[in-house]
Amino acid sequence: MSGTAMRASQKDFENAMNQVKLLKKDPGNEVKLKLYALYKQATEGSCTMPKPGVFDLVNKAKWDAWNALGSLPKETARQNYVELVSSLTSASQPSSQVEPGADRKPSAYETLEVTSEDGITKIMFNRPTKKNAITTQMYHEIMLALKAAGKDDSSVTVLTGNGDYYSSGNDLTNFTDLPPGGPEEKAKNSAILLRDFIDCFIDFPKPLIAVVNGPAVGISVTTLGLCDAVYATDRATFHTPFSHLGQSPEGCSSYTFPKIMGPSKATEMLIFGKKLTAREACAQGLVTEVFPDSTFQKEVWTRLKAYAKLPPNAMRISKEIMRSREKEKLRAINVEECNVLQERWLSDECMNAVMNFLSRKAKL
Ligand X SMILES: CCCCC/C=C/C(=O)SCCNC(=O)CCNC(=O)[C@H](O)C(C)(C)COP(=O)(O)OP(=O)(O)OC[C@H]1O[C@@H](n2cnc3c(N)ncnc32)[C@H](O)[C@@H]1OP(=O)(O)O
Rounded Cα–Cα distance for residues 92 and 95 (Å): 9
Cβ closest to ligand X, residue 304 vs residue 353: 353
136-151 vs 182-202: helix axis angle to the nearest 10?
A: 20
Task: Please report the DSSP string for 91-109 in residue order.
Answer: HT-S-TTSPTTTT--GGG-
Rounded Cα–Cα distance for residues 164 and 168 (Å): 11
Cβ closest to ligand X, residue 115 vs residue 135: 135
Contact 142, 112 (CB under 8 A): yes
Tell me how many residues contact ligand X (CB under 6 A).
21
Establish if 186 lies at the interface with ligand X (CB under 6 A). Answer: no
- Smallest gap from Cβ 159 to ligand X, in A, equals 15
- Smallest gap from Cβ 85 to ligand X, in A, equals 23
Establish if 190 lies at the interface with ligand X (CB under 6 A). Answer: yes
* Contact with ligand X (CB under 6 A) among 42, 120, 208, 219: 219
**What residues contact 355, with CB distance under 8 A and at least 6 apart?**
none
Rounded Cα–Cα distance for residues 283 and 286 (Å): 8
Q: What is the distance of C-alpha 75 from the center of its chain?
A: 25
Cβ closest to ligand X, residue 47 vs residue 217: 217
Establish if 80 lies at the interface with ligand X (CB under 6 A). Answer: no
CA distances from 201 to 55, 276, 300 (A): 49, 23, 22
* Contact with ligand X (CB under 6 A) among 150, 207, 214, 218: 218
Establish if 301 lies at the interface with ligand X (CB under 6 A). Answer: no
* Contact with ligand X (CB under 6 A) among 101, 161, 169, 225: 169
* Contact with ligand X (CB under 6 A) among 15, 160, 162, 170: 170
Closest CA to 215 of 234, 241, 243: 234
Contact 77, 85 (CB under 8 A): no
Establish if 194 lies at the interface with ligand X (CB under 6 A). Answer: yes
Residues 236-295 that bind ligand X (CB under 6 A): 245, 250
Rounded Cα–Cα distance for residues 134 and 125 (Å): 8
Cβ closest to ligand X, residue 152 vs residue 250: 250
Q: What is the distance of C-alpha 139 from the center of its chain?
A: 2
For ligand X, which stretch binds (CB under 6 A), given 94-102, 144-152, 168-176, 325-333? 168-176
For ligand X, which stretch binds (CB under 6 A), given 20-28, 30-38, 117-125, 167-175? 167-175
What are φ and ψ of residue 167, in 5° steps?
A: -170, 145
**What residues contact 158, with CB distance under 8 A and at least 6 apart?**
120, 121, 122, 123, 208, 209, 210, 211, 304
- Smallest gap from Cβ 158 to ligand X, in A, equals 20
Residue with the shortest CB distance to ligand X: 218
* Contact with ligand X (CB under 6 A) among 19, 173, 267, 347: 173
CA distances from 181 to 44, 163, 250 (A): 11, 37, 24
For ligand X, which stretch binds (CB under 6 A), given 1-9, 186-194, 262-270, 276-284? 186-194
**Between 113 and 152, how does the x/- string for binding to ligand X read (CB under 6 A)?**
-----------------xx-x-------------------
Cβ closest to ligand X, residue 13 vs residue 66: 13
Strands 120-125 and 156-161: parallel
For ligand X, which stretch binds (CB under 6 A), given 38-46, 76-84, 211-219, 284-292? 211-219
* Contact with ligand X (CB under 6 A) among 112, 193, 230, 232: 193
Rounded Cα–Cα distance for residues 159 and 154 (Å): 14
Establish if 364 lies at the interface with ligand X (CB under 6 A). Answer: yes
Establish if 214 lies at the interface with ligand X (CB under 6 A). Answer: no
Residues of this chain that bind ligand X (CB under 6 A): 130-131, 133, 168-174, 190, 193-194, 217-219, 245, 250, 357, 363-364
